[in-house]
Amino acid sequence: MSTKKAGKNLTRSFKISNPEKIKIACVISEWHSEITENLFIGVKKKLMMHGLQEKNIHEIHVPGSFELIFGTKTLINKDYDAIISIGCIIKGETKHFDFISDAVIKGIKDLNVLSDIPIILCVTTDNNIQQSIDRSGGKYGNKGEDSAEAALKMILISSKK
């Protein structure tokens, strides 16, 4: 297995056998849709680069990042190999950011512990909109692509494909 340096991340190459059989659901928050849609574009691009068929990449929209938990939960026992939860939480002037970020991360973690399929957290938690732009296709790349790669690697680990 070869390695290559990609920014701050060390990425190992891998190959998915039968990628055309893999089905992935993306639960996407509508709040900050200019960011979450770009993250989804990154997810879709990376999955298709690995041979997944577009028809097997499903998108489900929920109102906000907090609703990602329930939206993701409803898909766990469906016919998916992985679920990617996509959201964007931007710090404001109140503690709401802290409460929502903490709840979403813990909620997705709890679902991951109970699930037989990988659930990938693709939620940016940024101090301002510019940081979110930079991480959703801007100068720091697209965290959606990283999340798609994580999903594929976790599918390999779960021995489903």
Report d(CA 151, CA 155) in Å as an integer.
Answer: 6
Report d(CA 21, CA 96) in Å as an integer.
Answer: 40
User: Is 61 among the catalytic positions?
Assistant: no
Question: Residue 25: what are its φ and ψ, rounded to 5°?
Answer: -100, 140
The closest alpha carbon to 152, from 28, 18, 7, belongs to: 18
Q: Residue 7 region, left (φ>0) first, then alpha (ψ -120 to 50), else beta?
A: left
> Alpha carbon of 26 to those of 7, 43, 134: distances in Å?
25, 9, 21
Q: Is the dihedral of CA 42, 44, 45, 49 positive or negative?
A: positive
Q: Which residues are catalytic?
A: 96
